[in-house]
Amino acid sequence: MFILNNTDSTPLYQQLFLQIREKVLSGKFPAHFKLPSIRDLSGELEISRNTVDGAFQELCAEGYIYSKSRSGYFVSDLELDLATSTTTPYPKQDLHPKLAERYRFDFHPARLDPEVFPAALWKKCFTDCFRSEPGAFSEYSDPQGEWGLRCNVQFYLERSRGVRCSPDQIIINSGSQQNLEIVAQLIRETHNSVAVENPGYHLPRDVFRNLGFRINPIDIGSSSLNPDALKSSESSVVYITPSHQMPLGYVMPVADRLKLISWADTGGRLIIEDDYDSELRYVGRPISSLQGLNPQGNIIYQGTFSKVFSPALRLCYMVLPTWLADAYRQKFMNYLCPVPLLTQRAMIAFMEQGHWEQHLRRVRIFYKKKHDLMLHTIEQRLLNKAKIIGQGAGLHLVLELNDRIQDEAEFVERAKQHGCRLLPFSAFYADGRKEQNKLLLGFGGIPLGEIPAGVDLLSGLLE
């Protein structure tokens, strides 16, 4: 009647439960059919009575069978037409995660080098918080993020980026995507169109489009988004990366910044300033933020720990104008901060002990070596083939080729076959145009010693 497998990882009582349930659902055991007694079934299957009793108790709890005092167990009267048969076994799944595709030369612009992550210091901060605050396991974080973390972020932004705000204006989140989704919900009743840089970062246009906003691409001129083109558009919100335009690397001139601020101050318009990699500037001082030029203006400032620390922590922040921070607290007062409390407190310790500033200095030196080697190698190997755009900051640069690539998708695939990953430049255009003479090269994730070989490979593919 039943066949149990002692070598199967599934417990015997569960095997018996599943087989009886299958016979009930398939109708092989009709309603009110009397099951063998626990003693008889345990003897027949040569298993303990407790094993049979466990299976029967679970079947009773789920309603497949019922018991009568001194009579035994019987099949319940079920509407079998509504039940799904389980005769077809589920295929066994490989529970081990599949490794992401690996490339010898990964030129993706968002890759970091694991060598620069301060694993020992971070582990110590995390462990110390774990030991000193065991009660954190029974607490929720402040909805806006831990007060201590917001104070440290405020202090850091004021000194390094010229951002002027109070901790009450800072929201701690798990990524730029969540920042933008929150902003979209805050403004959707008064705004319906968002202007984006073209070419520009794909995430904001995807987020706002998916939430019902109309997207207006504004072309990037010789140095930044064109404020005059923005004025002639129908958009009342603009998303920009003024300190290091993504992907071209331009820095918005002060004159254009002031025009943009003036645009936002009239008609209830709004600027979303993404300062995604401001820490990584290799020439001169970091560029001051747009928000710092007009702290009381309609500017949302957002930054992240992902570009210089670790994207795996899912830790970022945004600074809302005072009026929008008040609206945030009204609308999201019952929400919880998505960043784990222990992660936040570990970052508080990391910053207060001075490790954050030390880490930034180390990171700048580390990636500047890669940046400089990339420039030097390109100048040697591709001197007559391309011009470099956007050098001097961040984790990527752009090559403007003298000769056009006939088929960008084919070129990217050919590079992949040689162990080289490229992100198509066309992916940055919001209007679907195809790019034929630009390559985006990230260098953050490529080991220093592999950069010359990677550039050599690209040079050969461009022949």
- In tens, the pLDDT along 371-417 reads 999 999 999 998 788 999 989 999 999 999 998 888 999 999 999 99
Residue 406 confidence (pLDDT):
87
Work out the number of other CB atoms within 10 angstroms of the CB of residue 438. 20
Residues 178 and 310 in one domain: yes
HSE of 411 in the Cβ direction (CA atoms, 13 Å)? 24
The per-residue pLDDT for 267 is 84
- Round to whole Å and give the CA distance between 384 and 156: 43
Q: Which residue has the higher pLDDT, 155 or 133?
A: 155
**Residue 155 contacts by C-beta under 8 Å, 6 or more apart in sequence?**
none
Here the tokens at position 223 are 């140095």
Residue 183 pLDDT > 60? yes
- Contact, 20 vs 35, CB < 8 A? yes
Shared domain for 213 and 301, answered yes or no, is yes
When mean pLDDT is compared across 126-140, 266-280, 352-366, the lowest value belongs to 126-140
Residue 132 and residue 401: Cα distance in Å, rounded? 56
- Residues 437, 350 share a domain: no
Number of domains in the chain: 3
CATH code, domain carrying 339: 3.40.640.10
Q: What's the CATH number where 383 sits?
A: 3.90.1150.10
| pLDDT > 70 in the chain, percent | 95
Q: Within this chain, do residues 154 and 263 fall inside the same structural domain, yes or no? A: yes
Q: Clarify whether residues 326 and 364 are in a common domain.
A: no
Q: Does residue 38 sit in the same domain as residue 124?
A: no
For residue 97, name the pLDDT band (cuts at 50, 70, 90). low
Q: Is residue 98 part of a domain?
A: no
Q: Contact at 8 Å (CB) between 170 and 145?
A: yes
Residues 322 and 422 in one domain: no
- Whole-model pTM: value is 0.82
Distance CA 164, CA 180 (A): 21
Residues 363 and 289 in one domain: no
Per the structure block, which two tokens stand in for 422?
Answer: 């490229």
Domain boundary among 302, 329, 355: 355
318 and 364 both lie in a single domain: no
C-alpha 331/C-alpha 22 separation (Å) is: 49
Q: Note whether 364 and 327 are same-domain residues.
A: no
> Domain boundary at 290, 322, 355, which?
355
In this predicted structure, the answer to whether residue 441 has a pLDDT above a threshold of 80 is yes
Read off the DSSP letter of residue 270: E
For residues 317 and 427, state if they share a domain.
no
CB neighbour list of residue 167: distance below 8 Å, 6 or more residues apart? 147, 150, 151, 153, 154
- Label residue 90 by pLDDT band (50, 70, 90): low
pLDDT of residue 435: 87
Q: Which of 327, 355, 383 is the last residue of a domain?
A: 355
What is the Cα–Cα distance from 365 to 371, expressed in whole angstroms?
10
**Based on the domain organization, do 369 and 340 belong to the same domain?**
no
Helices (H), 78-213: 119-132, 147-161, 176-187, 202-210
Mean pLDDT for 145-149 is 96
Confidence (pLDDT) at 96: 61
What CA dihedral angle connects 196, 198, 202 and 204, to 10 degrees? -10
pLDDT at 217 over 60: yes
Range of the domain at 74: 12-82
Other Cβ atoms within 10 Å of 254 Cβ, number = 11
d(CA 456, CA 462) in angstroms, rounded, equals 10
The reported pLDDT for the residue numbered 93 is 61
Q: Is 232 helix (H, G, I), strand (E, B) or coil?
A: helix
**What CATH number has the domain bearing residue 51?**
1.10.10.10
